[in-house]
Structure 1
Amino acid sequence: MRLVPLTAAHEDAILAFETVNRDYFAASVPDRGDDYFAAYPDRHAALLDYQRAGTDRFHVVMTDDGTVAGRVNVTLIANGEAELGYRIGRDFAGRGVATEAVRQVCLLARDEYGLVRLRAAATMDNPGSRTVLLRNGFALGAETTLSGRPGHWFARSLR
């Protein structure tokens, strides 16, 4: 497994990954809605614009054979802090892929992006994501609601 920065060349592969895993993701995170898929080319271009502007960093989790296994995003970068988000496809769940991808992004966030703190949110009914965060040194924080679902914020110092 390797983590690579999102590029224009990933557009079709990411759309296919999101489409194939849509129902799987919707079971534990809010669904992105039909418009997300219908207008994905515009969305992909916008992500690349955010990345060029330095407000966000998007990563693709690739297998050794070039299959998209997931995504890890560092968004809302400001004042040395950012928000972490990730999703791993159904075929790669439960294999430690998310834990390793988040570990790698934490190192990138500190060493290449100059960040000192990451925060992430996970719903209470998503024990896999909560475990990934805890395994990567994130501390449980305040309660929150994510698209009407109860959850928690988590935070990690990168110092």
Structure 2
Amino acid sequence: MIHDIHRLDAEVRLRPVTLADAAPLSVALTRSRAYMQPWEPVRPDSFYTEQGQRERLAALLADREAGRVMSWVLADEEDRAIGAFNLNAIVLGPFRSATFGYWVDVEYAGRGLATAAVRRICELARDELHLHRVEAGTVLDNIASQRVLVKCGFEQFGMAPRYLHINGEWRDHCLFQRILHDGPPTG
């Protein structure tokens, strides 16, 4: 189920985000700030504070209640959030699609956790949300994220010039999608 906990390895689980994740997300984001800078928007210092994360999470949880977003965190063995995964802009009806966004704490990067989480969330998107497709975009030089997407069955379907304002400038993005099923819209 979407709101269940899913073990990804011996130490890390994928679980729904809660307001209690504000403090550990603040720590993980601060620790990973320089590492993620090439692929992230410029954010105010307040974004990296516990209060900034609490406000962001409150908005995410409201969007989850409205059916627009599903959000999870990677949680370590002490249940501290060490990464985040979101299905954003969920559209139902005949489109049945969402956009994917994610990041993993620099201390946990390169362990296959993003790949395991993306795979699991794609299963949930197909089986629980009955989505037809999921898409994601990466800046052209984010090779690691592109590898995650390809390993999880995403195919590049285009390139969007000046797509998002990342690291202080409008950046071109590779666009990927994964078709989850070809059945009729349900749910």
- Structure 1 position 65 matched with structure 2 position 78: yes
Contact 2:21 2:80 in 1 (8 A): no
Contact 2:19 2:54 in 1 (8 A): no
Q: 1: CA distance between counterparts of 2:42 and 2:34?
A: 8
**Cα-to-partner distance string for 1:34-87 (whole Å, 9 max, x where unaligned):** 343353322221111111111100000112332323111001000210000000
Larger radius of gyration: 2
Q: TM-score, normalised by structure 1?
A: 0.92
- Structure 1 position 45 matched with structure 2 position 58: yes
Alignment of 1:110-125 (within 5 A): 110-125=126-141
Identical residues among aligned pairs (%): 35
Question: How many residue pairs get matched?
Answer: 159
Alignment of 1:1-159 (within 5 A): 1-37=12-48, 39-79=52-92, 80-144=96-160, 145-147=163-165, 148-159=170-181
Contact 1:25 1:31 in 2 (8 A): no
Contact 1:143 1:150 in 2 (8 A): yes
Identify the range of structure 1 (11-20 vs 38-47) with the bigger mean alpha-carbon deviation. Answer: 38-47
Q: TM-score, normalised by structure 2?
A: 0.79
* Residue 119 to residue 95, structure 1, CA distance change in 2 (3 Å): same
- Unpaired stretches in structure 1, ≥5 consecutive residues: none
Q: 2: CA distance between counterparts of 1:60 and 1:48?
A: 13
Following TM superposition, by how much is the alpha carbon of 1:10 offset from its aligned partner in structure 2, in angstroms? 1.3
Contact 1:75 1:84 in 2 (8 A): yes
Q: 2: CA distance between counterparts of 1:32 and 1:143?
A: 25
Identify the range of structure 1 (45-54 vs 31-40) with the bigger mean alpha-carbon deviation. Answer: 31-40
